[in-house]
Amino acid sequence: MKHYVLVLLMSISCYAHAQQSNDSIATKNLKEVIVSSTRIDLPLSENARSIQIISKENIRKVGVTNVTDLLQQVAGIDIRRRGIGGMQADLYIRGGGFDQTLLLIDGVKLDDAHTGHHTLNLALPIEVIERVEILKGPAARIFGQNAFTGAINIVTKTNLESTAVMTAQIGSYDQINLEGTLGTSNEKTSLLAHYSFKTAEGYRYNTDFDNHNVFLKGQFNKDKFPIDFIASFSDRKFGANGFYARPTNTDQYEETQGSLVAFSSRIQKNNWVFKPRLYWRRGQDEYLFVRNNPALYRNLHILHKVGAALDASHSNVYGTTGVGVDIARVSIASNNLGNRERLMTTLFAEHRFLFDDRRLDITPGAALTHYSDFGTQFFPGLDIGYALNQNLRLYGNIGYTYRIPTFTDLFYSDSRTLGNENLQPEEALTEEIGLRWIKNSWQITAALFNRDAENLIDYISESETDPFQATNVRRVNTKGLELEAKTTFVLGSQPQQFNMGYVYLKDDIKAININFSRYSINSLRHHLTFNYIGQISKALTTSISFKRAQRPTMDAYQVLDASVQWRKNIWTVVFMANNIFNERYTETNLVPMPLGNGLLGVQVAF
């Protein structure tokens, strides 16, 4: 497929140069959203990649309490949850692994060198999110390490108005959610503070949890040299019945902490835009194989990542140039993995060329990363887009991407599992072609993609009694089709919104000559989602979310969730119902998901 993509991209370029039209591209009637990037920011309609945006208005109306439940409503995003409340879940995009997807907060990369199991531990509370940007496909040349199959950027609220919001919710399994948000703002300074506490007894034995979240955001010196500050802390304690190891291991227990502190700014000087960042990320994980017997088996890992980045873009007669540098040091102290560290230095460069009265854009770029333990890696890529008319855009991209083994891959050891210090990076070449049509209240996107991955890490063994050791042995070709349609319309006098998404994936796992393997690719082969947000009256809103999913080794399952919200003056009352038809299904490790359950909440905003 990569040859067809290259031919297509070249054909777009040649066709565009052959055109001599002087007509400019008309302004879209649809309100544009500027998609955040570390360097070149573009409206969604001008991007040459598959990108989805979830706005704060939609987040507020869909009836979810956490980012994990929000993302599982998006086709192509495979959220493999273990229970309720988003306590533990793995994030997959387009069939990749949980170590192959990058999460960012306001552009700060939260990759976890310990393990991707903790990627979602720092996902922010719903109340502080402005929007969620989902980039599908290879993003290594844009973001660097871990953006193997895609990236998700959580953008925090930007207009920090003076506000006070308090929320209380109760629900099934003795769930109790308490939240408070305070904000103040003037011409020079804005502050936002949020605290939330969530607890439940669990929907089955040993699935209880307690979760504390603290978030602070400040905007200072806004009229001169703006400085943005964010600080986030998440503390989770939960019973992990069958979450890891075998499903029969019912007494597992885990405590995790995630912290982030970051300073950033955006400075514009003539045609230059500079974006400096300083950040510190801390992660802590304590795991007990038997909850009431820590001496039997206990792992404790504490990870730090400290980094500084500077990105810049320059607009000129040839288009827009983006350059950047990111330097970060990662260290871990662990009773199992030992004391390890890694220094990473990444250089970014890209340029967006514009031709044919801005109808054609060509963006070559690359990232060059030096790892203290893996040498130098190179991630080139190319994006091309062409506006066939004012509403229809054809785009394509191709790029190389890598994933450096985690410290767990390299050094983990127990009676049945061995890491491997000689592992090499996973790598892949990915191609994509797509069409995006935007007109008035409609947006429709279709994309085909292909990924050839090799050196994938598997855990293999020569015999049933030998331990499984991490080894670069797997080669997988992944092909897929992705469709998305969304529209807004008026029913009576009230606005309505409807979204539909469908993704088909096919993994071709290349055969290898091994006796025993732990590797299991179980991507969502078919993933269909429907989301409807209906305004019944000025005060009453309802949402309905439907998902149908099928994995190659499991029967298909269907899940229907719904919510109803009533808003009047300062008061909001919401009722959420999940898995309404009591579907029995699992998302990972044969952990059964809860049957029908509900949550009732009251919010007051001053």
Q: Cβ of 431: how many Cβ atoms within 10 Å?
A: 24
* 383 three-state secondary structure: strand
Q: Does 5 have pLDDT greater than 60? A: no
For 16, phi then psi, to 5°, come to -65, -40
Q: Does 26 have pLDDT greater than 60? A: no
Looking at 315-425, list the stretches that DSSP marks H as alpha helix, in order from N- to C-terminal side: 407-411
523-556 pLDDT, tens digit each: 999 999 999 999 999 999 999 999 999 999 889 9
Which of 9-18, 251-260, 454-463 has the weakest average pLDDT?
9-18
Which of 166-180, 193-207, 452-466 has the weakest average pLDDT?
452-466
307-328 pLDDT, tens digit each: 999 999 999 888 999 999 999 9
What integer pLDDT is reported at residue 29 of this predicted model?
39
User: How is residue 294 annotated by DSSP?
Assistant: T
Tell which residue, 559, 419, 442, has the closest CA to residue 489. Answer: 442
What integer pLDDT is reported at residue 2 of this predicted model?
45
Show me where the domains of the chain are located: 2-17+34-605
> Average pLDDT, stretch 568-596?
95
Q: Does 184 have pLDDT greater than 80? A: yes
Sign of CA dihedral 235, 145, 277, 70: negative
What integer pLDDT is reported at residue 25 of this predicted model?
33
For 68, phi then psi, to 5°, come to -60, -50
| H-run or E-run covering 586 | none
> Average pLDDT, stretch 494-506?
96
Helices (H) and strands (E) in the chain, counts: 5, 34
pLDDT band, residue 162 (cuts 50/70/90)? confident
What integer pLDDT is reported at residue 201 of this predicted model?
97
Distance (Å, rounded) from C-alpha 379 to C-alpha 402? 8
* Residue 327 neighbours by CB under 8 Å, 6+ apart: 307, 308, 309, 343, 344, 345, 346
What integer pLDDT is reported at residue 43 of this predicted model?
85
Looking at 309-381, list the stretches that DSSP marks H as alpha helix, in order from N- to C-terminal side: none
Sign of CA dihedral 64, 112, 425, 324: positive
> Average pLDDT, stretch 503-511?
93
Q: What percent of the chain has pLDDT over 90?
A: 78
Q: Does 13 have pLDDT greater than 90? A: no
- For domain 2-17+34-605, give the fold: Maltoporin; Chain A (2.40.170)
Q: Does 9 have pLDDT greater than 50? A: no
Distance (Å, rounded) from C-alpha 323 to C-alpha 429? 23
Which of 136-145, 523-532, 586-595 has the weakest average pLDDT?
136-145
Q: What is the pTM of this model?
A: 0.92
Residue 515's Cβ-side half-sphere holds a number of Cα atoms within 13 Å equal to 9
**CA end-to-end distance (rounded Å), the chain:** 56
For the chain, helix, strand, coil in percent to 5 are 10, 60, 35
Tell which residue, 552, 465, 458, has the closest CA to residue 514. Answer: 458
| H-run or E-run covering 111 | none
> Average pLDDT, stretch 124-131?
94
Tell which residue, 112, 433, 82, 128, has the closest CA to residue 244. Answer: 82
Please give the single-letter amino acid code of residue 503: V
109-120 pLDDT, tens digit each: 999 999 998 999
Distance (Å, rounded) from C-alpha 66 to C-alpha 63? 10
Tokens of 514: 């091994």
What integer pLDDT is reported at residue 37 of this predicted model?
67
Contact present, 473 and 458 (Cβ < 8 Å)? yes
Q: Does 93 have pLDDT greater than 80? A: yes
What integer pLDDT is reported at residue 511 of this predicted model?
83
> Average pLDDT, stretch 504-524?
86
What integer pLDDT is reported at residue 175 of this predicted model?
97
> Average pLDDT, stretch 552-576?
95
What integer pLDDT is reported at residue 281 of this predicted model?
97
Please give the single-letter amino acid code of residue 601: G
What integer pLDDT is reported at residue 3 of this predicted model?
45
**Beta strand pairing call for 540-550 and 526-535:** antiparallel
Beginning with the edge strand found earlier in the chain, give each strand of the sheet holding 150-156 in spatial order: 50-55, 129-136, 150-156, 101-105, 108-109
pLDDT band, residue 32 (cuts 50/70/90)? low
Q: What percent of the chain has pLDDT over 70?
A: 94
| H-run or E-run covering 12 | helix 2-18
What integer pLDDT is reported at residue 517 of this predicted model?
82
Q: Does 393 have pLDDT greater than 70? A: yes
Q: Does 39 have pLDDT greater than 90? A: no
What integer pLDDT is reported at residue 17 of this predicted model?
40
Mean pLDDT over each residue of the chain, to the nearest integer = 91
Q: SS3 for 204-246, per residue?
A: CCCCCEEEEEEEEEEEECCCCCCEEEEEEEEEEEEECCCCCCC
For 44, phi then psi, to 5°, come to -55, -40
* Strands (DSSP E) found in 226-318: 227-239, 253-264, 267-269, 272-288, 298-316
Mark 62-86 as b/e (b = at least 16 C-beta within 10 Å).
bbbbbbbbbbbbbbbbbbbbbbbbb
What integer pLDDT is reported at residue 462 of this predicted model?
87
Contact present, 124 and 131 (Cβ < 8 Å)? no
Contact present, 194 and 177 (Cβ < 8 Å)? no
Distance (Å, rounded) from C-alpha 152 to C-alpha 54? 11
- How many Å separate Cα 256 from the centre of its chain? 19
230-to-89, 215, 293, 582 alpha-carbon distances in Å: 24, 7, 38, 40
pLDDT band, residue 53 (cuts 50/70/90)? very high
